[in-house]
Amino acid sequence: MTDGRRGRQSGWNDQPPPTRAWKGRAGRSREALAAEQDRAAGGRQGRYVSLDDDRYALASVELKVLPHTRRIRAYLRWSDKGRSPAKYLGQVDNDTRAANLVAGWEAAVEKGLVGVRPVPQGSWASSDAVRASMRGNRGKDTGPELRLRSLIHREGLRYRVSARPLPDLRRTADLVFTKARVAVFVDGCFWHGCPEHHRPATTRNPEFWRAKIEVNRSRDEETNRRLSEAGWTVIRIWEHEDPVDAAQRVIAVVRGQ
């Protein structure tokens, strides 16, 4: 385990986050910085903020370290008539700047702050595909989650929704059974690399999407390990699974059957 991960495990309370987790290399050109943002956002076409009068501004994710709490915060920034508005996206805690920029862009998409700027006739097919992929990356309350929660609730079990099993670990499970110490994650087939249904992206910047899925897989494995070490049982359910079968699996584990 790296020093950075030790810091994350304790919430970076004992030491600042590693520089590589938030700070870029000094002296890079504007072109290099723009390319970095494009990679993190999955392409420049998804980096636009809608302004008034049908105007659009190209946004960037900025990472900052809070000196007192030693947390990395992500902000969305853009320019508008000489001003530089910013929106707070949330805290990020990955080991590298690249992964934290990706997390920042994911939060911006989930909050509906960015999207695809309308493009001239002839380019709509590509833009629609990108828009559908980005909007499909919902953080919670997906159809499979809602069906699973309904079936489990019907059996009399109660749970927390979209909660952290461990307060000091920045990982959010879809269902948390605190007393039984069971954490349930409902994983999307594309975003989490389902071995049965995942297909490599064929849109622009396929290298980014391959790297993104690998980051998600690694993060899932790390989450499983860290929760297991803390005495939790982790259940992962693919979105394609039959919800009745998945619910029965969760119920059996929670009830200790």
Closest alpha carbon to 227 in 159, 166, 163 = 166
- φ, ψ of residue 34 to 5 degrees: the values are -65, -40
pLDDT at 131 over 70: no
What is the Cα–Cα distance from 39 to 31, expressed in whole angstroms? 12
Average pLDDT over residues 157-167: 93
Same domain, 129 and 199: no
Give the containing element (helix H, strand E) for 257: none
Residue 178 has a pLDDT of 96
In terms of domains, do 11 and 35 share one? yes
* Domain end position, chosen among 135, 153, 179: 135
What whole-number percentage of the chain has pLDDT above 70? 78
- Is-contact 236 134, C-beta < 8 A? no
* Cα distance between residue 46 and residue 41, in whole Å: 6
Asked if the model's pLDDT at residue 5 lies above 70, the reply is no
Contact 86, 57 (CB under 8 A): no
Give tens-digit pLDDT for 80-128: 888 999 999 999 988 899 999 999 999 998 888 988 766 444 333 344 4
How many distinct structural domains can be found in the chain? Answer: 2
Its pTM surpasses 0.75: no
Q: Check whether residue 103 and residue 175 sit in a common domain.
A: no
The count of other CB atoms within 10 Å of the CB of residue 98 is 17
Please say which residue of 104, 135, 166 terminates a domain: 135
- Residue positions counted in the chain: 257
> Of 135, 166, 189, which marks where a domain is finished?
135
Co-location of 131 and 202 in the same domain: no
